[in-house]
C-alpha cells in the first residue's frame, strides 16, 4: 500500500514538473533573449503580436484620460488642460513610409514666410503609408490649399499623427488601426510641390518636432519614451540615457513666432535697403553734368536737384559733392 502511494506521489510530482516546465522556460527565455529595439520592420509586427509585446491599450478611446472630446472635423485640438509632465511611449513605432529621405524639416520657412509644422519625407505616388502607432482614425478629409488628402490618428500614448498630401486614403473615420497597417498611399495633393508625405506629431494640440522623437534615416526612435513638459523642455528617455529636448509650441505660439520672424525679417530687409542707399554721393569729375550723374545712379535730374537744393541751371564745380540718394 505504501509502495502504491509512493508511486502515485512520484507520478504527481512528475506531472507538476512537466506542466511547469514551459513557464520556467518562458521565464528563462524572457531573461536571456535580447530584445532588439530597432526591430521596426513590418515583418516583426506579427511576431510582436504573437509574443504579446504590444500593450493592451484601449483603442476605442485612445488617451481618453487626456482628451475630453472626439472631433471628426477640426485638426486643431483646443481647450485642454496640459499636464505639467507626461511620458509618451514610443516603443511601438513603425516608420510610416518606406523612404528614409527627409526633404523638408520642421520650423519656419523663410522662403515661403510661414511655419512648417511637420517633417516632409520623400515618397512616390502610390507608396504605402502605414500607421506610426496603433490608434483610432479621427479625420479622413481633403484640404485643397493645405494638406490635400490627409488623415489624423489619435494614439493611446497621447500623440496625434497627421499624414498629408496622400493620393488615396485607405481607412475611414472612427476606424481602429494597428501599428504598421496601411492607411493611405503617397501622393502630391493639396499645397505640394512634389510627391511626399507631410508627417506631424501633436500632443493635446501642441506641436512636437517629429525629428525630436524619430530618426527617419535610421527608421527608428530616438528613445523609448519622450517626456513632454508643458512649461519647460521635453526629454527623451532611452534606458538610462537622458537627452535634452526643446520646449514645444502650440499652433498659436508657432504662428505668433512665425509672424514675428517675418516682421523682423521684413524690417531687417528695409533697414539693409536704407543702409545700402544711405550716403550715396558722387564727386563731380571733369565734363560731367547732372544728366550724366543721374543716369549713372539710376535716378533723375529732378531728384538730384531736390536732394541737393539746386536747379537744372546750376553750374557744377569740379570736385563738388552731389547727393544721389
Q: How confident is the model at residue 140 (pLDDT cuts 50, 70, 90)?
A: very high
pTM for this one?
0.59
Mean pLDDT of the chain: 76
In a domain, residue 65? The reply is no
Report the pLDDT value the prediction gives residue 10, as an integer from 0 to 100. Answer: 58
Q: Is the pLDDT of residue 15 over 80?
A: no
More confident residue, 5 or 149: 149
Domain total of the chain: 2
Q: Is the pLDDT of residue 284 over 50?
A: yes
Report the pLDDT value the prediction gives residue 28, as an integer from 0 to 100. Answer: 30
* 87-127 pLDDT per residue, tens: 999 988 999 999 999 998 888 767 667 778 899 999 999 99
What average pLDDT does the segment 204-224 reach?
89
Residue 303 sits in the same domain as residue 225:
no
Residue (of 190, 84, 202, 98) closest to 144 by Cα position: 190
Q: Is the pLDDT of residue 240 over 70?
A: no
More confident residue, 157 or 222: 157
Answer for the pair 176, 154: CB distance below 8 angstroms, yes or no.
Answer: no
In a domain, residue 270? The reply is no
In a domain, residue 32? The reply is no
Q: Is the pLDDT of residue 275 over 60?
A: no
In a domain, residue 150? The reply is yes
Report the pLDDT value the prediction gives residue 57, as an integer from 0 to 100. Answer: 62
Answer for the pair 104, 126: CB distance below 8 angstroms, yes or no.
Answer: no
Which H, E and C letters describe the chain, residue by residue? Answer: CHHHHHHHHHHHHHHHHHHHHHHHHHHHHHHHCCCCCCCCCCHHHHHHHHHCCCCCCCCCCCCCCCCCCCCCCCCCCCCCCCCCEEEEECCCCCCCCCCCCEEECCEEECCCCEEECCEEEECCCCCEEECCCCEEEEEEEEECCCCEEEEEEECCCCEEEEEEEECEECCCCCCEECCCCEEEECCCCCCCCCCEEEEEEEECCEEECHHHCEECCCCEECCCEEEEECCCCCEEEECCEEEECCCCCEHHHHHHHHHHHHHHHHHHHHHHHHHHHCCCEEECCCCCCHHHHHHHCCCCHHHHHHHHCCCCCCCCCCCCEEECC
Read off the CATH number of the domain in which 287 is found: 3.10.350.10
Residue 167 sits in the same domain as residue 315:
no
Report the pLDDT value the prediction gives residue 132, as an integer from 0 to 100. Answer: 96
Read off the CATH number of the domain in which 105 is found: 2.70.70.10
Residue 104 sits in the same domain as residue 253:
yes
What average pLDDT does the segment 288-309 reach?
88
Report the pLDDT value the prediction gives residue 279, as an integer from 0 to 100. Answer: 53
Q: Is the pLDDT of residue 47 over 50?
A: no
What average pLDDT does the segment 119-137 reach?
95
Q: Which residue has cell 481618453?
A: 64
In a domain, residue 55? The reply is no
Residue 105 sits in the same domain as residue 216:
yes
More confident residue, 205 or 230: 205
Answer for the pair 149, 186: CB distance below 8 angstroms, yes or no.
Answer: no
Report the pLDDT value the prediction gives residue 35, as an integer from 0 to 100. Answer: 38
Q: How confident is the model at residue 14 (pLDDT cuts 50, 70, 90)?
A: low
Q: How confident is the model at residue 61 (pLDDT cuts 50, 70, 90)?
A: very high
What average pLDDT does the segment 261-270 reach?
48
Answer for the pair 86, 228: CB distance below 8 angstroms, yes or no.
Answer: yes
Residue 183 sits in the same domain as residue 225:
yes
Report the pLDDT value the prediction gives residue 255, as an integer from 0 to 100. Answer: 56
Which of 202, 224, 258 lies at the terminal end of a domain, its last residue?
Answer: 258
Residue 121 sits in the same domain as residue 252:
yes
Residue span of the structural domain in which 306 resides = 279-323
What average pLDDT does the segment 122-134 reach?
95
Residue 228 sits in the same domain as residue 294:
no
Report the pLDDT value the prediction gives residue 2, as an integer from 0 to 100. Answer: 52
In a domain, residue 195? The reply is yes
Amino acid at each position: 500500500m505504501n509502495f502504491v502511494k509512493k508511486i502515485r506521489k512520484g507520478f504527481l510530482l512528475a506531472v507538476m514538473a512537466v506542466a511547469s516546465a514551459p513557464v520556467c522556460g518562458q521565464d528563462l527565455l524572457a531573461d536571456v533573449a535580447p530584445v532588439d529595439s530597432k526591430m521596426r520592420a513590418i515583418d516583426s509586427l506579427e511576431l510582436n503580436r504573437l509574443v504579446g509585446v504590444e500593450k493592451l491599450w484601449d483603442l476605442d478611446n485612445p488617451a481618453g484620460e487626456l482628451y475630453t472630446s472626439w472631433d471628426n472635423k477640426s485638426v486643431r485640438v483646443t481647450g485642454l488642460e496640459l499636464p505639467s509632465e507626461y511620458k509618451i511611449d514610443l516603443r511601438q513605432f513603425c516608420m510610416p513610409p518606406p523612404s528614409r529621405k527627409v526633404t523638408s524639416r520642421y520650423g519656419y520657412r523663410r522662403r515661403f514666410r510661414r511655419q512648417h509644422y511637420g517633417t516632409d519625407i520623400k515618397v512616390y505616388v502610390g507608396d504605402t503609408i502605414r500607421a506610426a502607432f496603433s490608434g483610432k482614425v479621427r479625420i479622413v478629409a481633403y484640404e485643397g490649399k493645405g494638406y490635400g488628402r490627409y488623415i489624423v490618428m489619435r494614439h493611446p500614448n497621447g500623440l496625434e499623427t497627421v499624414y498629408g498630401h496622400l493620393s488615396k486614403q485607405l481607412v475611414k473615420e472612427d476606424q481602429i488601426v494597428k501599428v504598421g497597417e496601411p492607411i493611405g498611399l503617397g501622393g502630391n495633393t493639396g499645397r505640394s510641390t512634389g510627391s511626399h508625405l507631410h508627417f506631424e506629431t501633436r500632443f493635446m494640440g501642441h506641436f512636437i518636432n517629429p525629428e525630436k522623437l524619430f530618426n527617419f534615416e535610421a527608421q527608428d526612435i530616438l528613445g523609448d519614451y519622450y517626456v513632454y513638459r508643458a512649461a519647460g523642455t521635453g526629454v527623451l528617455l532611452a534606458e538610462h540615457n537622458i537627452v535634452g529636448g526643446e520646449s514645444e509650441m502650440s499652433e498659436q505660439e508657432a504662428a505668433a513666432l512665425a509672424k514675428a520672424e517675418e516682421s523682423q525679417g521684413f524690417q531687417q530687409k528695409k533697414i539693409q535697403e536704407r543702409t545700402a542707399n544711405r550716403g550715396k554721393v558722387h564727386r563731380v569729375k571733369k565734363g560731367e553734368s547732372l544728366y550724366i550723374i543721374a543716369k549713372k545712379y539710376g535716378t533723375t535730374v529732378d531728384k538730384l536737384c531736390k536732394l541737393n537744393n539746386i536747379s537744372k541751371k546750376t553750374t557744377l564745380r569740379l570736385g563738388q559733392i552731389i547727393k544721389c540718394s
